[in-house]
Structure 1
Amino acid sequence: MTAFLGDRSLLAPMLSPGDWANLKEHRPRPVLSCGETAIVKTSQLGTQFFAHKVLCEPGHKGETKEHLRVKAAVVEAAAALGWTARAEVRAPDGSWIADVLVEKAGRQVAFEVQISSQDAERYRERQARYERDGIECFWLTARASTEHLPGVPVLRVDPHAEELALSVRSRASTEIPLATFVDAVLEGPLRWAPTPPATVTGTIRWGLHVCDACDMRSIVWDVDPSRKISCDRCALWASGAELAPSAAPAAAAARLGAAEPLAVWRERLPGVPSTFECPQCDAEVPPTELWWLYRYRASDRCATRTVALDATLTEPHWCEPSRGLHGAHDVVEHLAGRRDRPRQIVLQETGDLDVLRRDAAQLHAMRAREAQAAAEQQEREEAFRRERAERLRLFEGAQPVATPEQLGLPPLTSPKPTTPHERTAAIDAYVVAHPGLDTDDVRRLFPRFTATCDCHDCAEILATYRDDERRILFRPKSRGSVVPRRR
């Protein structure tokens, strides 16, 4: 791309067709940077370039017509924007040779055109050399895809296309003109951030809870499980390491003027909300009472505190102030105008202390009403069970039974039983007084109840009978009843 004629530097793509034709006839001929005579040529793709008349040592070979074409397009695009563009620029220490180096107002940007094959490690190694010298570097490659080159700002270019355009992979649905990309890098806000500074934050949601046992008001909280790492220049962010669930919002509460003490945080098991205790009476605060705190959504009952944590560096990435670009695909879509502006999540401290206190009192009153309603309902159910049991007892006591005289058995020595407890004692007394009686005959003398008594005395009596005798004499009518166990 570059040759010298006396003290004048010649950049082949920037010469007009007329000047280029005149240069072919000019004597003496231009000289290359290596000192050899340059031949003025035009490639089959229409690119103006200089070639060696005689190859120099060691192996300063010429470049392919595809490589020359892409380089020339970058030079022309940069020059059209008012930048000083040079080709084949060597580092002072010889550690790199930039295909195209453009400069303006102290800023240096290198463009590397990689037509031949090169592995990912070599890309990163060469990129690191430019970063070490404070030079921004962007890569244009002819490989089929750039998706396997993380950590390097690279886009694909097809040097054989009629119009040079950039994409992420071959046959991609979205392409952008090469000049558009050069303009975005040089004149626009698009940058490659190798080690961008970032802010690390975490979110704590907190509110006020009134203890149901002692009416003490205290601060309870919940922690968003992930830290947020945000680039200080663009909208890119990522989740970081877990924030300790015990991190308390004391500072945020103090700034709002909250005089309430913090609740006693106990623990948080995986997948389970935190457990708290009242700081005054040690009563446990069930997580079910803090449903409003664990929703992770905007709520009038919650305040949000952004916790600034230790600063760190995010991964290298494409950086654009109003966008979150996660890769080369996002860059192409953005420059093609197909990427919408993302919804930017802004962490901020919110909350109104008066609202928090009002809501805490309302929730406390609501729980009191629910507890009172539950107690009244339980009392109604107990009264209904007692009434039903009494009706059943009276009904069963009124049922007719056979008399001993009708069955030809000895007379009863005790009154007719009216409860399961009396029935158990009466059967035992009758069997003891008249040993050897058949259990089926004894059963016919005593009314059947739908339950058995499970008191200690009845259990002791039942333990003296065999299983078949207990089944015949004492088994209740209802299958749901429980036969007493010996205590």
Structure 2
Amino acid sequence: MKASYRDLGLTTPCCGAAVIPVRSPTGWQFFRHKPNTVCTIRESLAHIACKSIMARAAARLGLDVTTEARADDGTWVADVLVRHPDWTVALEAQLSRIPLAAIEDRQERYREAGIRGAWLVGYDIARLGARRDLPLFRLEVKQAERLAPAVIESAPDRAPARTDLATFTEKLLTGRVRFKGPPSRAGAPSVATVPSVCWKCCRDIDLVVALVNFPAHTVFAPHGILPACDLGKLPEALAVYQRAISTLHGACESLTPLRRPPPSRIATGMRAHCPWCDAAISLQRVPETTLASCRWHLCWTLAGKPWAPSKLHSSRWTWNGSAD
């Protein structure tokens, strides 16, 4: 190509200027602008290297690979577009800092085009948790004698691990990069319990102290956590709970049902009742600390499925053998 590129009419996708095929001292093959070309969209060597590494890793898997692929209508441009008969993935090496909103906007354009997007970002984004809808990974590009891009995996039980970009790309495209987060039932409307003992029959009970994952209410459930004694103040939530009572107690017979008090005691709020002797249990004396998830013993979805708050962990992406 070096011998014949002048006759091929090669141009750049960024500005349309003519390009020259070159090989760097370390063996990278790429195209650069002709000398004295004015272009405001020049790529750094690190960006070129990252794109090349990802493209070569995808090609080794026998996949169809295109760099700087563009939509016909110009709505998106992908650093590396990888096509499989059943799916298409856009790999983006984002080394220059841009707002998260810009990444989300470009991700939405990929989604509308039926393309999955994966982002390798070369900087930290403050307070950003792992999201299933936005596969975003921390890319570190170290340069000593040669560029050595690596993806950083953070796990709660060990120090961050570095995976070279080529290996990570192969794992990503072969389904070995997994999203790990709380079980889906942990996000479903549920009742939260603490262990207790009935004051009358002295039998062990699971005292319902709160309803969680309900629509937030500014006054009664600002964080989607509704104290059980206030359930009667939200008629819609009360109706949902009442429809689930038989299911809940079929799943756990020691759960305390919640009922309205007599009209003369309506101001005291909902009361729990012992599932064994039906003794009324006031919820006004329940410590406020029981409304914190760390104090809950077990939660039950309104479909009767249990989940343990103590086993919840923050969402993350994993690929170094710790995925299920």
Are 2:159 and 1:178 equivalent residues in the alignment?
A: no
4+ runs of 1 displaced by more than 6 Å?
Answer: 54-57, 209-212
Alignment check: 8 A CA contact 2:211 2:226 kept: yes
Counterpart AA for 2:28 = T
- Structure ranking higher on relative contact order (CA contacts 8 Å, 6+ apart): 2
1:422-473 C-alpha deviation (Å, 9 max, x unpaired)? xxxxxxxxxxxxxxxxxxxxxxxxxxxxxxxxxxxxxxxxxxxxxxxxxxxx
Rounded Cα–Cα distance in structure 1 between residues aligned with 2:161 and 2:207: 47
Cα distance change on mapping 1:286 and 1:26 into 2, 3 Å: closer
Counterpart AA for 1:48 = Q
Instruction: Show the 5 A alignment for 1:416-455.
Output: none
Are 2:47 and 1:67 equivalent residues in the alignment?
A: yes
2:4 is matched with: 26
1:190 is matched with: 177
Are 2:98 and 1:98 equivalent residues in the alignment?
A: no
1:389 is matched with: none
Alignment check: 8 A CA contact 2:248 2:303 kept: no
Alignment check: 8 A CA contact 1:30 1:38 kept: no
Secondary structure of 2:189 counterpart: strand
State the 1:87 CA deviation: 0.4
Rounded Cα–Cα distance in structure 2 between residues aligned with 1:74 and 1:175: 16
Counterpart AA for 2:224 = A
Counterpart AA for 1:83 = L
Rounded Cα–Cα distance in structure 2 between residues aligned with 1:106 and 1:253: 42
Counterpart AA for 1:177 = D
1:52-98 C-alpha deviation (Å, 9 max, x unpaired)? 447889x4754332221111000011111222111011112112211
From 141, 163, 173, the counterpart of 1:158? 141
Cα distance change on mapping 1:93 and 1:255 into 2, 3 Å: same
Alignment check: 8 A CA contact 1:114 1:142 kept: yes
Q: Tell me the number of residue pairs that the alignment of Structure 1 and Structure 2 aligns.
A: 264
Are 2:322 and 1:335 equivalent residues in the alignment?
A: no
1:275 is matched with: 271
Are 2:17 and 1:42 equivalent residues in the alignment?
A: no
Cα distance change on mapping 1:99 and 1:164 into 2, 3 Å: same
State the 1:250 CA deviation: 3.0
Are 2:167 and 1:167 equivalent residues in the alignment?
A: no
Secondary structure of 1:266 counterpart: coil
2:94 is matched with: 114
Counterpart AA for 1:32 = L
Cα distance change on mapping 1:224 and 1:81 into 2, 3 Å: farther
Cα distance change on mapping 1:121 and 1:67 into 2, 3 Å: same
Cα distance change on mapping 1:206 and 1:263 into 2, 3 Å: farther
Instruction: Show the 5 A alignment for 1:35-434.
Output: 37-53=18-34, 59=39, 62-143=42-123, 145-147=124-126, 153-158=136-141, 160=143, 162=146, 163-167=148-152, 174-190=161-177, 200-203=188-191, 222-227=208-213, 241-243=224-226, 245=228, 246=231, 247-248=241-242, 250-252=245-247, 255=250, 264-266=259-261, 275-276=271-272, 285=281, 296-297=296-297, 305-308=300-303, 326=315, 330-331=316-317, 334-337=318-321
Counterpart AA for 1:100 = V
Task: Tell which deviates more after alignment, 80-89 or 146-155.
Answer: 146-155
Cα distance change on mapping 1:28 and 1:190 into 2, 3 Å: same
Rounded Cα–Cα distance in structure 2 between residues aligned with 1:160 and 1:253: 58
Alignment check: 8 A CA contact 1:146 1:156 kept: no
Rounded Cα–Cα distance in structure 1 between residues aligned with 2:34 and 2:301: 68
Cα distance change on mapping 1:325 and 1:92 into 2, 3 Å: farther
Secondary structure of 1:25 counterpart: coil
Alignment check: 8 A CA contact 2:19 2:31 kept: yes
Rounded Cα–Cα distance in structure 2 between residues aligned with 1:106 and 1:241: 39
Rounded Cα–Cα distance in structure 2 between residues aligned with 1:113 and 1:287: 54
1:153-199 C-alpha deviation (Å, 9 max, x unpaired)? 14223152543212279xx9531111232123211253679xxx986
Rounded Cα–Cα distance in structure 1 between residues aligned with 2:198 and 2:120: 64
2:237 is matched with: none
Cα distance change on mapping 1:124 and 1:168 into 2, 3 Å: farther
Rounded Cα–Cα distance in structure 1 between residues aligned with 2:301 and 2:103: 39
Cα distance change on mapping 1:147 and 1:29 into 2, 3 Å: farther
Unaligned runs of 5+ in 2: 216-222, 232-240, 305-311
Counterpart AA for 1:242 = I
Unaligned runs of 5+ in 1: 1-22, 230-239, 299-303, 310-322, 342-487
Secondary structure of 2:261 counterpart: strand
TM (norm. structure 1) is: 0.42
Higher helix share: 1
Q: Which has the greater radius of gyration?
A: 1
Counterpart AA for 2:175 = G
1:394 is matched with: none
After superposition, the CA RMSD in angstroms is 5.1
Rounded Cα–Cα distance in structure 1 between residues aligned with 2:85 and 2:36: 37
Counterpart AA for 1:46 = G
Alignment check: 8 A CA contact 1:39 1:51 kept: yes
Cα distance change on mapping 1:228 and 1:44 into 2, 3 Å: farther
Rounded Cα–Cα distance in structure 2 between residues aligned with 1:276 and 1:297: 17
